[in-house]
Chains A and B, each alone.
Chain A
Amino acid sequence: MVLVGPTGCGQSSANSGSDGGDKKQGGTLTLFAASSLIDAFGELAKTFEKQNEGVEVKQSFESSSTLLTQIQQGAPADVFASAAQEEMNTAVQDGLVAGEPEVFVKNREIIMVPNDNPAGITEFRDVADPGVKLALAQKDVPAADYAIEILGKANARYGSDFKKDVLSNVVSREADVRASVNRVVVGDADATFGYKSDYTPDIRDRVKVVEIPSGLNIIATYPIAALKDANDPELAKKWVDLVTSDEGQRVLEKWNFEPAA
């Protein structure tokens, strides 16, 4: 299958002539990754470009559900890194994945509130207080699905109306988890569900974390896989190897992810 598209053009020119046999150096690697991976993969991309001279890493960060839709519609991607198993499973079922997906990292959810904490949220159960303005990623985005799962568990601890009360506080459904976190960063939302890894150094002076009790929290597992229609399967595999290597895991841990093993 020949993939055409805005990013595909760059790839084909970079690879022209490599079909004949002797592989030229260089090429382009296109990653489709969950938006929570933006910082960690950004750093790893630099490492990758250093290790593979002449290679350019292109990355698209959006919600895993959006990325899945784009891949299903033939977007030119070499690697898919999802924030949840569900999207990867669908990709496998649709025959889009080459080989077996690997879980490469884990994550947890946290509550983030603006530094001045206008709604006075000091513990997890406060997000159900009336009048809290809660931002949440939109339906089918893993971060939001995990949040719903957590609220379901919390019903058993805080009473059967807890989930309903929290959801009635939602004032906006955002396209992905980072957009939702940004609502708290600019101070308009009183709280949001995000990943531990979304609490990045550049927002720490504007955002505070409220932990979700570990008995209620979920463990998000992130699978990664090279795609069947990858323009450069070799580069795609190299990227998966880097991410799962000690070096890759160190970078991911630095960005607050938890090791997969």
Chain B
Amino acid sequence: MKRRGKDGPTPRFSRGSDKLASGLAIAAFALLVGFVSVPLLSLVIWTVDKGAWRAMASPVAVDALLLSVRTTSITMAILLVVGTPAAYILARADFRGNRVVNTLIDVPVVLPPSAAGIALLLAFGRLGLVGKYLDAFGVTISFTTAAVVMAEVFVAAPFYIRQAATGFSAVDQTVEEAALVDGAGRSTVFFKVTVPLALPALVSGALTAWARALGEFGATIIFAGSFRGVTQTIPLAIFAEFHRDLDAAVALSVLVLGFAFAVILAVRYLTAGATTHEA
């Protein structure tokens, strides 16, 4: 509850400057909405205008979409399985070097993706730090779909782990302790109490990470290369088509726009029941 009365004095601002301030805020809002929607609209208009729809059914587009669906799904599965417990430890455990690990996890966020690609190449390429030992066992990662997933996990992980850890920290520890006292096992408490309470943060973290993985370009093209059906995800296909056929590049962009929109809507809808009580 706010203590300030309804008709208390409004210091510093007169009515007129209040109006000016809200006018400016509305203008800023309109500017932002226009700035975001005009380019998106341009994509759709071009597609309709030039009949670029057909390019969406081209083998390049279909292969790229399927590959993007496949790689981002695997990426998300890895992030949920590995990232969730890791985030819980980051949020709860008080160990030496916690701060260092925290910073390290955030590095891929500020690292340009192309630099991430070079780093992955020097680590896991055939002559790389780890890659040369893998190569000795006949395992090669370059130019495979596995390399695409690794690039996506590398750049997307911090987005999920960071938000999940924040979500876990916000869960009241006394609730967990109460459940433990009642005789529930640690893992039961985690899955039945902690995760449901942190769910909104987990969902929004997962969505951000998925979006980042879907848009991944720089690390993928440098580390994994570009080949239809194997490593050429939608962003790479857009880049390749831009050099040859602008209509196809536009169609692919619309395709990925629609796909991303559909996934975000679906997740929001499916998790609405579970998350509304928090917001």
Contact A170 B227 (CB under 8 A): yes
Contact of A188 with B243 at beta-carbon distance under 8 Å, contacts A171-B143, A173-B226, A173-B227 already known: no
Interface presence of B121 (CB below 8 A): yes
Chain A 89-102: CB-based contact to B (< 8 A → 1; otherwise 0):
00000000000000
Hey, which chain B residues are within 8 Å of A63, CB to CB? 243
Contact B125 A188 (CB under 8 A): yes
A210 to B43, CA, bound (A): 46
- Residue in chain B with minimal CB distance to A139: B244
Interface presence of A69 (CB below 8 A): yes
Number of interface residues of B (CB under 8 A): 19
Partner of B243, one of A65, A118, A135, A186: A65
A260 to B230, CA, bound (A): 41
Interface presence of B233 (CB below 8 A): no
- Residue in chain A with minimal CB distance to B228: A173
Total number of residue pairs linking A and B with CB closer than 8 Å: 57
Contact B244 A140 (CB under 8 A): yes
Number of interface residues of A (CB under 8 A): 22
Interface presence of B71 (CB below 8 A): no
Interface presence of B107 (CB below 8 A): no
Which A residues between 144 and 184 are near B, CB-CB below 8 angstroms? 170-175, 183
3 nearest CB pairs, A to B: A172-B225, A187-B127, A171-B143
Task: A140-B243, A175-B243, A189-B142 are known; give 13 further A-B pairs, CB within 8 A.
Answer: A63-B243, A65-B244, A138-B226, A138-B243, A138-B244, A172-B143, A172-B225, A172-B227, A173-B226, A174-B226, A175-B221, A188-B127, A188-B142
Using a CB–CB cutoff of 8 Å, the interface residues on chain B facing chain A are: 121-122, 125-127, 140, 142-143, 221, 225-227, 230-231, 239-240, 242-244
